[in-house]
């Protein structure tokens, strides 16, 4: 086994790390492939953690929860109610018909206030693709003489033999 430096995308690092992390818990690996798996996890762990933080996910964005809370208040404020004041539900969603104009106005104001957040959510795939396609050089361990186990997926061999 030998250490080598390869040029990869951040997506390649993510995929390699996830592959090796999964393999770490698998029985039946050869001694050499087990060593390669352990060493590559160590090499890839820090970049993988940085990549995970760099990929946009609205569930990690505090502004998303602010928006969601305010939106739910608007829905509750404008929802149709029965004689007892209970919100009328239709298909597991609050029904809004009587105050639809007010709801649309409040919703438009909220969407204007959170325009940057909503744009980021709408374009997150493009943003993440651009981020994940950045190229970097990393060190990895590869087997001597390209002696890869039969069960190694082609994408792993492709990345490690660049």
Quick: pLDDT tens for 33-73: 889 999 999 999 999 999 999 999 999 899 999 999 999 99
Residue 80 in tokens: 């149709």
Domain identity same for 51 and 62 = no
Domain identity same for 99 and 114 = yes
Domain identity same for 75 and 47 = no
Residue 38 in tokens: 């352990």
Domain identity same for 30 and 70 = no
Domain identity same for 97 and 139 = no
Residue 139, domain extent = 2-56+130-160
What is the DSSP secondary-structure string of 69-88? HHHHHHHHHHS-B-TTSPBP
Mean pLDDT over each residue of the chain, to the nearest integer: 92
Residue written as token pair 């996890």 = 41
For residues 90 and 132, what is the distance between their CA atoms, to the nearest angstrom?
41
Helix (H, G, I), strand (E, B) or coil at 94: strand
């Amino acid at each position: 086994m030998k250490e080598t430096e390869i040029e990869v995308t951040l997506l390649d690092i993510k995929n390699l790390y996830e592959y090796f992390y999964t393999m770490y818990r698998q029985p039946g690996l050869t001694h050499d492939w087990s060593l390669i798996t352990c060493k590559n996890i160590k090499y890839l762990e820090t970049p993988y953690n940085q990549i995970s933080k760099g990929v946009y996910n609205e569930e990690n964005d505090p502004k998303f929860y602010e928006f969601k809370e305010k939106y739910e208040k608007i829905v509750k404020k404008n929802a149709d109610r029965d004689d007892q004041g209970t919100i009328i539900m239709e298909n597991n969603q609050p029904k809004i018909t009587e105050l639809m104009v007010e709801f649309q106005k409040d919703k438009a104001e909220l969407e204007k206030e959170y325009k940057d957040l909503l744009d980021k959510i709408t374009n997150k795939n493009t943003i993440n693709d651009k981020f994940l396609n950045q190229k970097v050089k990393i060190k990895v361990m590869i087997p001597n003489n390209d002696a890869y186990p039969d069960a190694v997926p082609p994408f792993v061999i492709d990345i490690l033999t660049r």
